[in-house]
Amino acid sequence: MRSLWQDQEAKPFLSSPLGLRAYTSRLLGREPSLVLHGGGNTSVKTSAANVFGEEEAVLCVKGSGWDLATIEPAGFAPVRLDILQRMADLPSLTDGEMVRAQRAAMTDPSAPTPSVEAILHAIIPFDYVDHTHADAVVAVTNTSRGEERTREIYGERILVVPYVMPGFVLAKTVREMTRELDWSRIDGMILLNHGVFSFGSDAKSSYERMIDLVSLAEGYLTAHGAMETLEVPEEHRHDQRSLVSLAGLRRSVGLARGRPVIARLDEGPDARHLAARTDVAEVATRGPLTPDHVIRTKPLAMVAESDDAGGWEGAIEAYGRAYRAYFQRHATPDQVMLDTAPRWVVWQGRGSVGFGDSASNASIVEDIARHTARAIRWSERLGGWKALPEDDLFEVEYWELEQAKLRKAGDPPSLAGKVALVTGAASGIGRAAVEALRGAGAAVVATDIDPKVTELFAGPDVLGLVADARDREAVTASLGIGVRRFGGLDILVSNAGVFPPSRLLEEMPDEIWNESIALNLSSHLHLLRAAVPFLRLGFDPSVVIVASKNVPAPGAGAGAYSVAKAGLTQLARVAALELGADGVRVNVLHPHAVFDTGAWSPSVLADRAKHYGITEEDYRTNNLLGVELTSVDVGRAILAFAGTTFSKTTGAQIPLDGGSDRVV
């Protein structure tokens, strides 16, 4: 661990204590092994003028919902310092009362809710306080001799605090432990099984004390051989059976959870090493790295080995029975059990899989699992991984403050947890479909022959891949990569196509005809054939075929295009007949004259308008409704077909042309 402080970088923040606080908080947040996905909190004690012009001492503490990696001054909640310090001396305080009292003491009611550790930050007599869940520190404390080893590392430099529930109880415990303490003699606190605190009179010293404390733990692990070079088995080569098995796992977990889920497969060194351990079923089920993680991962991972053709149901049911028993051992009569589905599965011999209701949440679980696997390895080499007892984990998982967050989250987007693949996604209809599906909560694999598809979209919920739709191997490979990234497939938008140059049939060159058939028809068959095994394991699976108005109303000179699209429509009808028993819906959209797509260059538009003897402007609205069609309109129609609106419709053909007198 090394300090990331740079004088030049820090210079713009030197005039503001809160600015410096944000700067060093982001330095902590840059290092995932310190503050994994929102973990940890920081604060600064400063002053602010109230409405009467009087200066008040305030604690600006990280607000709920903010991540240290990206926090700004607005992410800190200003709370009257004296009120927080007096709260620490109360004999008791419920979590709800604590939150209400902290909010009532805020000098800015529009600021985010203060961290549950605000009282603890307030009673530490230093201007700057930093708190992290450093992997190395927690790995040391999560051993059978955790406290002894901690004192061996730090001696008298730190205060060792036994694990207690975060929030008021923790603040009260530290208050009682430090009434006679000379704070100037210590550099920080180690909270067993939880994390580490550092503090200082200025931002740099507090931050660099944190780096120093964590570095000492890393050095101890290294000296005891815990951080030696990792030897891992060879990475598994994925074939169709293993990918289908992954999709089956995703389906089984989603059914247990009662909703679609994203599944992130991790086959990195840490995950593979854990999955290859002969004792993995025992060590991976002792508990999470920190109690905070139980909200994301549940108290235990599920360890299972698939037969590459499914076979997950028994393990999922066993996990559910164990979770129900765990709940019954600790629940009070007024508590309602959460779903029994695992969030983290160790796939023996392969790696691990993280599950979430969105790509972002699944990625977070995957990341937490990776750090946990690494910490387990370190702790095992120090004598044995030992997490908190399950009653402590249950207390955090069913903590009223965490449950309130879940209730506050509201209903998920309509396609949350679903996975879509869109071809021809770099422009026009395909790009609009990607954005429409993402907007509804789906994770999307976006493919196109144009390399720009890899740079068009940003975010954990989209994966841009270069693939020529005519290349069977490329199509199969892109589908496999998408399944590995998101776990399966629920929605297929078969959109790739080309509008070839106009030629009368008697003048049609073979290459124009063959190219149109290859891309506008055959490529869709190849994609559908590769996708069907995954669609069968999807949630309300839907295929949307993008055809053309030229199917019901072909045009002279457009034979290569019209025939290919007519064949594509017939392909979709046959697919609807064959896949209906599997619950896979197959429907067709017939767009026409969508002018913001690559098919409509200025020259093509001018040529078609001239052919009909009207102006280009009139040609744009040459339909019964007198409207102009855009790719966004088609994207919305694709979304409707993929969602619940047409959940009981298959084999349908819907025109999207503003009304054509040639069709009507």
**pLDDT for residue 79 is more than 90:** yes
Separation CA 102–CA 445 (nearest Å): 44
User: For residues 42 and 62, is the Cβ–Cβ distance under 8 A?
Assistant: yes
Residue pLDDT, tens place only, 565-618: 999 999 999 999 999 999 999 999 999 989 888 778 788 888 888 888 999 999
Separation CA 235–CA 272 (nearest Å): 8
User: For residues 593 and 625, is the Cβ–Cβ distance under 8 A?
Assistant: no
Going by pLDDT thresholds of 50, 70 and 90, the confidence category of residue 502 is: confident
Mean pLDDT value of segment 80-99: 94
Catalytic residue, from 128, 154, 319, 561: name it.
561
**pLDDT for residue 32 is more than 60:** yes
pLDDT score of 111: 94
Separation CA 456–CA 440 (nearest Å): 18
pTM of the model: 0.92
**pLDDT for residue 135 is more than 90:** yes
From residue 436, alpha-carbon distances to 147, 424, 425, 642, 643 in Å are 53, 15, 12, 11, 11
pLDDT score of 232: 74
Question: What are 334-338's contacts with CB under 8 Å, separation 24+?
Answer: 335/398, 338/397, 338/398
**pLDDT for residue 52 is more than 90:** no
Told to judge if 163 belongs to the known catalytic residues of this protein, a careful annotator would answer no
Q: CB neighbours (10 Å) of residue 506?
A: 6
- To which residue do tokens 């930093």 refer? 130
- Strands 262-266 and 351-356: what pairing? antiparallel
Report percent pLDDT > 70 for the chain.
98
pLDDT score of 15: 85
User: For residues 121 and 87, is the Cβ–Cβ distance under 8 A?
Assistant: no
Q: Of the candidates 360, 252, 239, 241, which has an alpha carbon nearest to the alpha carbon of residue 304?
A: 252
Separation CA 491–CA 111 (nearest Å): 40
The DSSP code sequence of 320-373 is HHHHHHHHHHH--TT--------SEEEETTTEEEEEESSHHHHHHHHHHHHHHH
Mean pLDDT value of segment 348-355: 94
3-state secondary structure of 133: coil
Count of residues in the chain: 664
User: For residues 654 and 569, is the Cβ–Cβ distance under 8 A?
Assistant: no
Residue pLDDT, tens place only, 461-491: 999 999 999 999 999 999 999 999 999 999 9
Going by pLDDT thresholds of 50, 70 and 90, the confidence category of residue 38 is: low
**pLDDT for residue 308 is more than 50:** no
- What's the token pair of residue 371? 């750090």
Separation CA 534–CA 658 (nearest Å): 35
